[in-house]
Structure 1
């Protein structure tokens, strides 16, 4: 039930409401990235295909074009490490919650992919989506994708919002508390059903040069850093790598 969290939130609600409205009013609203939402690094048919779905990070908020975003930068890192052709595609919507994303994915024309990464959690944190509902929506997402993408869905860790210094205290700490609860759910699902879900985390961005002008979203350097951390996860099998990469 997470009673301590909800009691604390209820007691602080007037302050949280004021700080939340002020943060929304004062925080710059950056646009989604432009350009093609997909591409290819290397020549010929891709040996590995990356698909990123989710909220503003999947939408490339913080950079000008999708080529600077997470899916593209992860594919580029994998291409440079393997010297093989790697394709990428991204599907993201700013401000969306998981239930809404499921509805959009049901009618979306998505490409074939070998791995699907989900970048979600911030909007469900700020929107106080109940944990049981978030779990149900994750399972619904897996059912929605299962026939087309049989491999496990990779859950990218929910950002540690208690470190978002652009948010005032106590709002920052309450949001961080909630984000950790949703992130723990990711880890539980990955542990309970590894054939359905995998959990991926990456170092927190603390260098302000890796953040966009709003102080929340990654900049181009930030997306590069996240992609670099994720690319070490052994995505490609040994036979897909060059001899010096395997060694």
Structure 2
């Protein structure tokens, strides 16, 4: 397989990329994970146990409360049709491997789940093949021991569009994010319980949090609407 242009240019661009990476970390607003419950029960109708798992976006960074984050909007959508017993297992900085380790310690079972991962795999230099292997392991855990029958696998975000990232760092990270997401689509296609969710968002400043790196509540609402639709269609 031929080496992509961004991979070829990483070595000569390394000093620039390293300086930009340090600058982004230094200037990034360290937004906290939102306040609010991380589990609960609400709604009417058939009982559905929901798991939300992943990184800072799954945790709702960029929102002030969990009600304005993915968990809050998604539970509210599903609660119109089901009695939803939900649980949030997400932490800022988590990679796919971190999430495997975390979910491996759970004892309960779930009917539905949504995952949001990939950005930290990109920034930690995880290769496409290793990402595929880890995502396969994660989906086997979810659909196996944890019993998930309906699973939404959120796409790796389009990092080249993150306002906080300067060029050429945005280009390099964006290309790697796209590469990992193509692998993620392959993994999801191997599990009949799973649907890959690509969010095609307009370039609207209101969709980014103040740090230019995380979603805003407006994005969380759009994301939850799309995820709820897939979970109900499954």
TM-score normalized by the length of structure 1: 0.85
> What do residues 166-186 of structure 1 show as CA deviations (whole Å, max 9, x unaligned)?
210010011110000011011
Partner of 1:136: 133
Equivalent pairs counted in the alignment come to 232
Q: Does the C-alpha gap of structure 1 residues 2 and 17 become closer, same or farther in structure 2, counting only changes over 3 Å?
A: farther
Q: Does the C-alpha gap of structure 1 residues 205 and 50 become closer, same or farther in structure 2, counting only changes over 3 Å?
A: farther
Q: CA deviation at 1:14?
A: 1.1
> What do residues 119-161 of structure 1 show as CA deviations (whole Å, max 9, x unaligned)?
0000111111011111111122133331222426431011101
Q: Which moved more, 1:122-131 or 1:6-15?
A: 6-15
Whole-Å separation in 2 of the counterparts to 1:229 and 1:116 = 14
Q: Which moved more, 1:226-235 or 1:162-171?
A: 226-235
Is there any run of 5+ residues in structure 1 with no aligned partner, and where?
A: 238-247
5 Å matches for 1:52-67?
A: 52-67=52-67
- Indicate the structure (1 or 2) with the bigger Cα radius of gyration: 1
Q: Does the C-alpha gap of structure 1 residues 210 and 11 become closer, same or farther in structure 2, counting only changes over 3 Å?
A: same
RMSD: 2.1
Whole-Å separation in 1 of the counterparts to 2:224 and 2:231 = 13
> What do residues 175-228 of structure 1 show as CA deviations (whole Å, max 9, x unaligned)?
11000001101111223x132643112232532223221112122222112112
Whole-Å separation in 2 of the counterparts to 1:150 and 1:85 = 16
Q: CA deviation at 1:72?
A: 2.3
Is there any run of 5+ residues in structure 2 with no aligned partner, and where?
A: none
The ranges of structure 1 where at least 4 consecutive aligned residues each deviate by more than 4 angstroms after the TM superposition are: none
Whole-Å separation in 1 of the counterparts to 2:195 and 2:102 = 23
Secondary structure in 1 matching 2:18:
helix
